[in-house]
Every structure is written in structure tokens, then in C-alpha cells.
Amino acid sequence: MNLVIVESPTKAKTIGKFLPKEFTVESSYGHVRDLPKGRLGVDPENNFTPQYVIPRKNQKRVTALKKLAAKAEIITLATDEDREGEAIAWHLIHALKLDETRDVKRIVFHEITKSAIEEALKKPRQINTALVDAQQARRILDRLVGYKLSPFLWKKVRGGLSAGRVQSVALKLIAEREEEIQKFKPEEYWSIDVDLKTKRDEIFEANLASIDGKSIEKLEIKNEKAAKAIETNLNESEFKVTGVTKRATKKNPLPPFTTSTLQQTASSRLYFSAKKTMMLAQRLYEEGRITYMRTDSLNLANEAVLTAKDWITESLGKEYAADAPRYFKTKSRLAQEAHEAIRPTRPDFAPQNLGGQAKLKDDEVKLYDLIWRRFIASQLPPAGFDTTLLEIEASSAKSKYGFRANGQILRFDGFLKIWPTKFSEKELPDVKKDEELDLVEVKSVEHFTEPPPRYNEASLVKTLEEYGIGRPSTYAPIISVIQDRGYVEKDSNRRFTPTEIGILVNRILKEHFPEVIDVGFTAELEEDFDKIASGKEKWPNVVKEFYIPFNEHLLKKYEEVEKENLIEETDVKCELCGKPMVIKFGRFGRFMACSGYPECKNTKTIKEPPKTIGMKCLGCSEGEVVIRKTRKGRIFYGCSRYPDCNWSSWQHPGKKESGTGN
């Protein structure tokens, strides 16, 4: 018997279809060994030796695999080809007490197809211990930080809190963005556009771009007085065309997906969380539908792009078949293993062919459709546009004003046929240089600058990737953990806001452990893990270099930092026992509780006053604009004088037309 061991039952079932009867394919159900729960499990005094155990829930599975391994002539470990998969294979060898040099083979593949499995079986290799060491270094460092820093928070803040090495950096990004938003002061500015008419009665819009030859910045027209002065001059001006530029432009398709771009696009187009996207992608991979879903590579197999070209030629026509296959260069210096980009295993298997026989759930079909379209689109020709730029001069006795009008017409859809993208078509009239134009209307519009947007899942993943924090396998867990801990929550627009306890934890870490949540330092550690994975660095050295100064600093802070007093006294009496109520900090923020606890367990929620945004009400000009929420949690803006003034707006009041008057 030949025993093949993989991580999941679904993967085992799919691989089993491709192998002869003498092969038995079994699943380990993920990791079979891990650091123990309830204790550190790492020995800093003995070169940070990890003390791995087989969790009780895994004992039955390990025993069953041991019995099968004892009967097997050959044992093949076919776990995923990344650090986590390599570590699972290494742990299997130790948990099952296998002799790696005698009876164990390690195979890897990027997709679960018959040809890929057969090819992998022809090229077995040994365990890549460098990849295992990189995974161990991350796991041990995360354990040291979590198990050492969390008790500090328990002692100095309150019980039940926890800190993580990378998750705390993500919390910092969200909390600092919230600080920016709260401190933001809107600035008034005005834009000026004109509607112009040709001698053939064709009307089009142009935007003010310069005054007396000097380009104007976004905030240059600061108030209504300045805008009205320009408007008066324009009403007395003569308009003529000073330049006409026409050219053909192309828009190239995006590359196929990596893990981060898949999570970002699934978030913006399908409203899937990063966790859900990865769960669905895992299923599609294990069912043999897509290539491996944890990757930062843009590599594509020759066979895949040639198959895509055949499908494009047959299904869309020769005009959509690119002259040569298109390959993409991985730009990220952080790309680690030699994976492919995420693509369908059968490019000719269009989503509409899935049908009922595929047994895929609706959301799986949606994600497959996204992956398939992105890959096929990457092999289509560019979209072609005809673009026009009109430059117009308005001359008055006082000044000369420069206007611009941009037009764009789609001439060939190219990759847009498969990957629809929003773009605006605007056709301008056919005018000549020096042609005179008539002014129809001057439109001066008031605006206010807006604060930076809160992070959503897509923008947070993008930011983490840009900083070099985390890797394809860690983005989704990072986002899940900070939500599960109650440090951040999503608003009605699916954007992250830090909770009160999240803000408090971030403040403590920022004040006392800035190096732990430093973006640059965390990115450097990721590079150290990469060096371990490539065999250029030893994992105990990386752990030691971090841990020794961290632990010395932690011991010092235990002595220096006073316990946070999170209990506030109030004048409110408990209606049950008559004792004073106090304000406490819980997992979900502040709440009011009876000081007679535990004898009296009365609690109340606290109604916080609405936050102002530093603007006067656009309805009455007396009250302040405040942030409010509907019963379902959707944010809107209203007047602090409500109900005397019922002005409100769904949007930040940077545009007058967004409000509803009183």
C-alpha cells in the first residue's frame, strides 16, 4: 500500500480520484502538533526550544495514521507547498515517528489536477527544513509576544486583554487613522466650471485649470467672495479654443490575482470578508478548480496561457486573441515561494459551464467567476480609446483664464469584454483651434475637504502588503483576530472603527512598547523570516535578537508603569440597592455598574454625546454638525440642535446638495 497524507478531507477526496487503487489518501485534518495551550511552551534558556505536543483533539487521528503508516510500503506527504504546509509535513514525520530517510517522500504541486499529481509523484524531494524553520520562527515569536505581553495588560489595565505581534500593528493603523479623522478640520474651497456652446449649438463642460498662466491648486479658491469675483470676470469674458489634442490611448488588463489582490477585489466587488474569501478559495483549490490560493507570485504556466488563448479565439473571436501570451513580472520583493498566480486549473472551463454537476455553492461560483475572469482578461488585448483634450482661453479686461475639457470614447473593448470596469465616456464636439465659443453658464460650487477614509478590509490588506507586514497566509487571520478581540468593529459602510478598549490597548502599547507595534520594525522581521526560508539566517538567532531586548524592556515596564484606573465615580444612584454607580471598562467599551458588585449586579449602558466634526450646521448655521447613527448602525450627519433643526445628510457635509433642509 502507498499512503498519501494531505491536510484536508476535501483535498484527499479530490486527489484520490486521480490515483490508482494501490494508493490510500488520508487527511491529517490540519496540524497534528502545536505549542501547548495554557503555558508558554518555549524554553528561552535553551535556545528557544519549542515544546510541541499533540493536542487531545488530534490524538485519535494521529493513532489512525500511525496504524496506516505501519502497513504502508511508501508514505507520501502531499501537504501544501508553503511554509505552513511544509511545517505540517515535518510535524507528521515526528508525530508518526517516521524514518524520513527510508520510507517518506515529499511531493508538492500548485494545482490539484491529474497531470499535476502524476508529475509531482515523479519528482519527490526531502522536507525543506528552511521553510519549516521560517514557520517555527514566526510561531515562536508570536507565542513569546502573546504570552509575555498579555499578562502585562492584565496587570496594568484589566483581565481578558491580549496583544499580538502583527495584529497590534493592524490595530495601530486603524486607531491612528481614527485619530486623524477626529482631529480633521474641514477646509472650504470652490471649483469653477463653465458650460460652453459652439456655433452649431453643441454644449459641453470645461473646468477651470489656470489663472493668468498659473495652474490653480485644489484649495486655491478659498471662499465664495473669491469664486464670485472670478464668476463676474468670466461673465464678461470671450472664450476661444487655443488647443485641440486627439490621440489613441490604450488601457492594459490587470495581472491575475495574488492572495492580497484577490482579497481586495472580492471585498470591493463581492463584499466578501478576507476570511470568507480564503475559506471559499480553499474549497475551490481542494476541489481542483483553482491553483494554490496563498501566493504573492504573478507567474503563469505556459500551458495555462496557451489554453486560455485557444478558448479566447474560439469563444470571443480572433480579434480578442493577443498576438503573444502575456506574462507578468512579480513586482513585490517579498514574494517567497515559486508559486503561480491564482488562476483556474482549466482556463477553458468558463463559469457558465459549472452547472449543477459541479456541486459548488453560490458564493463559490461567484469567487470562481471572479478568478476566471481576471485570468482570462489578463490574456486579452488592451482596451482602445480615442481621447480628446480641448484647451480654452477666457479673456477679460482683468485676467485670462485657462479651461480644459477631456473627452474619451471607447473604440475597442478588449479585456473589458470579460473584466468590466467603470469608466466614463464623454464625447466632445469637433472644434478647431481659434474657434470662438459662447458662454452658457458659469458654475461655482462650494466644497469642503474630507478626512481620510477609515480602512475597510481591502484597503487594510493593501496597506499591510505595501508596508511589508504579513504574508499571503496571514492577512485574513490578522483581520479576524482584531475583530474577535473586540478591538475594532465595522460600521454600516463596512469600514473599521476602533472600540474604546481598542483605543486604550493601542495607547498602552504605543506609550510603552513602541518597537513592538512599529511598522518598519515589523516589516524587518518579515524580511528576517524570508532569510530563514531561503537558508540565509538561523531561526534561533532571529528570535534571540528580538526577545532579549523585548523581555528586558518588559520587566522594566512592570516596575515603572502604574495600573490604569479604569473605574470612574458618578453621582448616579443604583435603583436596586441605592449605592453609587461607577463607570467601568468592559470588552465592548464603557458601561455603568453598581459599586456594590458582586452583591448587586446592576449594570447600564452609557449614552455617549454625539461627536462633532468642527463645522456649523448647513441648515441653521447655529448648531454644530454631529455624527449620529440609525438604529441599524448606519452613520449620518445631523444638527446638534435637533429637533429644533432637522437638517441631516448621509454624506460628510462637504457638498451642499447632500443634505435635506429643515
Catalytic residue among 189, 292, 475, 487: 292
DSSP secondary structure code for residue 437 in this structure: E
Q: Which amino acid is at 604?
A: K
Q: What are phi and psi of 244, to 5 degrees?
A: -130, 115
For residue 377, how many other CB atoms are within 10 A of its CB? Answer: 22
149, 155, 161, 167: CA torsion to nearest 10: -20
Calpha distance 563→558 (Å, rounded): 10
Q: What secondary structure does DSSP assign to 590-606, as a single string? A: EEEEETTTTT---EEE-
Calpha distance 84→286 (Å, rounded): 16
Is residue 321 helix, strand or coil? coil
Do 582 and 569 form a contact (C-beta atoms < 8 A)? Answer: yes
| Ranges assigned E (strand) in 187-339 | 188-197, 203-211, 214-215, 238-251
User: Strands 214-215 and 496-498: what pairing?
Assistant: unpaired
DSSP secondary structure code for residue 355 in this structure: T
DSSP secondary structure code for residue 1 in this structure: -
Buried b (16+ CB within 10 A) or exposed e, 632-653: eeebebbbbbbeebebbbeebb
Do 162 and 153 form a contact (C-beta atoms < 8 A)? Answer: yes
292 catalytic residue (yes or no): yes
Place of cell 472603527: 497
Place of cell 468592559: 586
Mind telling me the catalytic residues? 292
